[in-house]
Structure 1
């Protein structure tokens, strides 16, 4: 009997019930994005129904721009987390690490320790029993099931050795809840208060807030679907590029398990490559600015 046969599939081994549901993960993956959609819908209905509230046409492009910016910022957390802190494809200096930390808090994908530990297991058992989100077991499980129902032993794993001495990572995980509450609750509440006291448009502020929440939700699910599910399937090229634009290139997964320690997911040359794989492009920009160094690039992407 080999190792794969002895390891029980994670989707079967983990007890799934309302009592074992991870409510923090449920809030991040489902409840919070739903609240964003509800807020957007409510503001649109109120703006159309009440004479005292005005909806301007230019709200629409601004909100779409906010959604796009939020997706980009979330990916500037997850991208460096995945390529640099997870796979050690290079080094990033502390000023950029602080920005990455806040982008990770914005993306709401849990503590850095748990993120790296889960992804390490994924690479160890990719598409086999033991893979935390094996799409061959269940595509729904690989998408959100593994997030909603966690094995307590997974959450007890220590900080990976190569990250335990990183002060930014340690700070981010030690104050993860406080930082998350500040970014997603206290800061928005303060903005609403300032707008109200200065006579600004609360409906426009609410639409912007809803756009941030929806953009974060789109990036979250594009990442879990694009990487964990569709990244392990054969899909049309146009669909790969669509997911890549929503994930900063993380969903370009064909080569990743062959050469995980690469700062780029597409060739270095080519404007389209650098647009689609913009997480890699930003690492190149950081290197040019002296904020990153020793970037490793897969041989097929170096030229």
Structure 2
């Protein structure tokens, strides 16, 4: 929700308190600081499935899932990322503060606190306190996130654009709280819902959270796409599985 829909795509705006909470959550996830995550994601969208894409799905399922972090970066990626405009991110004081203190913050909120709380508060065995809320939590979260880069680029329908790898994957959407409707997302990346139908209709819990934040004034300027634009694009470039807007 934070690094992806707010900072990477600017699909909505958030007040300072909400941004602070999202910075905390991103740090807990232990998936790079927001500046680096956003930079990688923007280049992924701009050069999707090319050598400049950090997790290019054309290089195979393993590479797009985890292999991209094991291999030396392709020269095209290295060249393009140096020219990626990140001024909007660099003007965000919270994001840059997180970047400056990322290692110490990540160690504290991802390992030290999750280990100490169960160990000291209810007498959990220290090994369990280390392995489950710290290491196992990170492992599960990593593979769910990586599945968006791999499985959601390999299997599923393509109702909006048939000539790209990103697909509609309900399993990934369920696990990643709405991030698996990837064919839609790559066609309309600025839509805060990342799917045609938000909420429970398309298994999109993150959209429900953003809507709730909007209701209480924490999120605003939510960007979306008109049903007419969606249908026009689907009829023109989709794979024929588009069923039209919900009634």
TM-score (norm 1): 0.63
Q: Does structure 1 residue 80 correspond to structure 2 residue 6?
A: no
Counterpart position of 1:259: 188
Aligned to 2:99: 173
SS in 2 for 1:177: helix
CA drift at 1:234: 3.1
Aligned to 1:296: 223
Q: CA deviation at 1:267?
A: 3.9
Q: Deviation per CA, 1:135-178, whole angstroms, max 9, x where unpaired?
A: 11122111112223354958877881111111111111111001
Larger helix fraction of residues: 1
1:231 paired to 2:152: yes
Report Cα offsets for 1:169-212 as digits up to 9, x if no partner.
111111100101111333245336634xxxx4323992696055
Pick which of 144-153 and 177-186 moved more: 144-153
Which of 1 and 2 has greater Rg? 1
CA distance in 2, matches of 1:165, 1:241: 36
Which sections of structure 2, spanning at least 5 residues, go unmatched?
159-167, 231-244
**TM-score calculated relative to the size of structure 2:** 0.76
1:278 aligns with 2:219: no
Report whether the alignment pairs 1:164 with 2:90: yes
Measured in 2, the distance between the counterparts of 1:134 and 1:267 equals 25
Higher relative contact order (CA 8 A, sep 6+): 1
Distance change in 2, residues 1:224/1:96 (3 Å): same
C-alpha separation in 2, matches of 1:269 and 1:102: 25
Q: Name the SS of the counterpart of 1:262 in structure 2.
A: coil
User: Is contact 1:261–1:296 with CA below 8 Å preserved after alignment?
Assistant: yes
Runs of at least 5 residues in structure 1 that lack an aligned partner in the other structure? 1-78
For residue 110 of structure 1, report the CA deviation from its aligned partner: 0.7
1:298–1:161 distance in 2 versus 1, CA, 3 Å: same
Q: Does 2:55 correspond to 1:133? A: yes
For this pair of structures, how many residues does the alignment match? Answer: 217
Structure 1 residue 269, shift from structure 2 partner? 6.2
How far apart, CA to CA, are the structure 1 residues paired with 2:37 and 2:84? 12
Question: In 2, are the aligned partners of 1:123 and 1:257 still within 8 Å (CA)?
Answer: yes
Partner of 1:35: none
CA distance in 1, matches of 2:135, 2:32: 16
| Map of 2:242 onto structure 1 | none
- In the alignment, the residues of structure 1 paired with residue 200 and residue 64 of structure 2 have an alpha-carbon distance, to the nearest angstrom, of 32
**Do the aligned partners of residues 120 and 158 (structure 1) sit closer, same or farther apart at CA in structure 2, a change above 3 Å counting?**
closer
Q: Work out the CA distance in 2 between the residues paired with 1:188 and 1:157.
A: 38
2:13, 2:222 within 8 Å by CA — same for their partners in 1? yes
